[in-house]
């Protein structure tokens, strides 16, 4: 049976789709129902009417995230529409639950207009503890996220931007350590100026990459000062004064390539032209800008990362969004700010540097035959490593408290014990 046939069967057999809603309280007797609904349900309603924050005590809002898409940039499929995005949004809900025990309602908005998506999110915000924006094309995604962050008092996070940026940044910091580089001396070329490409570039700059050492390339070539074709205000922030015009020219002698564009853009000849010990993050999905086999055919000194699970150093967003939202929800953060993102980067990077003998058996079983010693083939933790929850969520929660966006104060040592219980609960799913 082909992958296509298996995937269609997986989604259609039995109960269609991948998610369902189940009650968390007893509903076996008439008395149970009188508490769950009328007349008993009126009591928490009255309490919430008196104190709106009581909604987090008496309902599931504090553990509920809305995954919102309008289907304009779905995976590598492009603008396929709201209904066709629903399998992906259900899948996102599965990942939230599987990795961080967060419940999700997926919301598909039948409009390509940024204003419509913004208004829908504003109107349904009282349902959720946070909103995860997904698969919305650029530049509308930037407008939608910024406006919602300004108008809502719950975390709003566009994973296609910041999830990719956070995971790739953690891998980048570790690749710098492996190769003995300093970030402020490293020259980087980014390929792809959509949501993820621009967000990655900005976060890497925030972490210490120098603007004069960054070149950004899109489908029309180098983004340079004075270029007018295919430009917008978001790309213009990364324009450089340079005579370079093509990706091949930009890669000559540089230290790192970061691809969030399309398959096959980078040739072995381009890789040969890069500097010593090049860092090559070819993250286009499902097919990277250049494959690891193509890189190793011309360079034995490169460190390679992709978005795929069948190659070392997978940059996978599931290492980020479940745990970032977990930490944000558990301190009732008003937003996910830069301090929280940076905390997630550092926590992920530090976890990959832990001794190999600390890697849980569950990870070894999930990746048979692989080594987990920090080095060129292991610069980022594996998605199935349960320690990610214990490292990232507390780091994010602490950063939220330190930066003043948390509405609850927690003890992070006690919090880790709570998270360990969640891991046991997740294992039973």
C-alpha 154/C-alpha 216 separation (Å) is 32
Give the whole-angstrom CA distance, residue 222 versus residue 190.
9
The DSSP secondary-structure symbol of 224 reads: B
Closest CA to 325 of 189, 158, 122, 206: 158
Q: 20, 25, 92, 378: which one is catalytic?
A: 92
Is-contact 159 317, C-beta < 8 A?
Answer: yes
Give the closest residue to 176 by CA, choosing from 207, 211, 199, 202. Answer: 207
Q: How far apart are the first and last CA of the chain?
A: 27
Catalytic residue among 10, 37, 57, 58: 37
Q: Report in angstroms the alpha-carbon separations of 413 from 264, 346, 397, 398, 405.
A: 47, 18, 12, 11, 20
| Distance between CA atoms of residues 290 and 273, nearest Å | 14
User: The tokens of 120 are what?
Assistant: 């829908």
* Rounded Cα gap, residues 225 and 32, in angstroms: 67
Tokens of 98: 């599987």
281 membership: H or E segment, kind and range: strand 279-282
The CA distances from residue 289 to 98, 200, 311, in Å, are 30, 16, 14
Q: What would you measure as the largest C-alpha separation in the chain, in angstroms?
A: 77
- 182 in active site: no
Question: What positions carry a catalytic annotation?
Answer: 37, 92
């Amino acid at each position: 049976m082909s992958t296509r046939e298996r995937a269609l069967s997986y989604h259609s057999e039995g109960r269609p789709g991948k998610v369902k809603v189940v009650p968390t309280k007893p509903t076996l007797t008439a008395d149970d129902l009188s508490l769950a609904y009328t007349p008993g349900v009126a009591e928490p309603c009255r309490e919430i009417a008196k104190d709106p924050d009581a909604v987090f005590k008496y309902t599931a809002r504090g553990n509920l995230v809305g995954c919102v898409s309008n289907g304009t940039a779905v995976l590598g499929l492009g603008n396929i529409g709201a209904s066709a995005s629903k399998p992906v949004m259900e899948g996102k809900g599965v990942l939230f639950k599987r990795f961080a025990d967060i419940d999700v309602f997926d919301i598909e908005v039948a409009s390509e207009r940024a204003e419509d998506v913004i208004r829908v999110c504003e109107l349904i915000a009282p349902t959720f503890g946070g909103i995860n924006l997904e698969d919305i094309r650029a530049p509308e995604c930037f407008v939608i996220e910024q406006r919602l962050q300004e108008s809502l008092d719950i975390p709003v996070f566009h994973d296609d931007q910041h999830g990719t940026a956070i995971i790739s940044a953690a891998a980048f910091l570790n690749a710098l350590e492996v190769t003995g580089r300093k970030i402020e001396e490293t020259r980087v070329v980014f390929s792809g100026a959509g949501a993820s490409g621009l967000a990655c570039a900005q976060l890497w700059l925030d972490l210490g990459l120098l603007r004069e050492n960054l070149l950004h390339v899109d489908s029309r070539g180098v983004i340079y000062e004075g270029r007018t074709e295919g430009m917008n205000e978001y790309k213009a922030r990364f324009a450089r004064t340079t005579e370079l015009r093509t990706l091949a020219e930009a890669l000559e002698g540089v230290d790192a390539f970061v691809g969030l564009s399309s398959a096959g853009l980078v040739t072995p000849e381009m890789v040969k032209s890069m500097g010593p010990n090049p860092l090559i993050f070819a993250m286009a999905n499902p097919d990277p800008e250049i494959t690891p086999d193509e890189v190793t055919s011309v360079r034995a000194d490169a460190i390679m990362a992709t978005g795929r699970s069948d190659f070392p150093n997978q940059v996978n967003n599931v290492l980020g969004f479940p745990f970032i939202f977990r930490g944000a929800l558990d301190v009732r953060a008003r937003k996910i700010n830069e301090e929280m993102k940076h905390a997630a980067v550092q926590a992920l990077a530090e976890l990959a540097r832990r001794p190999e003998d600390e890697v849980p058996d569950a990870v070894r079983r999930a990746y048979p035959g692989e080594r987990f010693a920090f080095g060129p083939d292991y610069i980022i933790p594996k998605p199935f490593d349960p320690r990610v929850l214990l490292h990232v969520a507390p780091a994010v929660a602490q950063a939220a408290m330190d930066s003043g966006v948390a509405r609850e104060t927690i003890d992070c040592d006690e919090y880790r014990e709570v998270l360990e219980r969640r891991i046991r609960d997740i294992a039973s799913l």
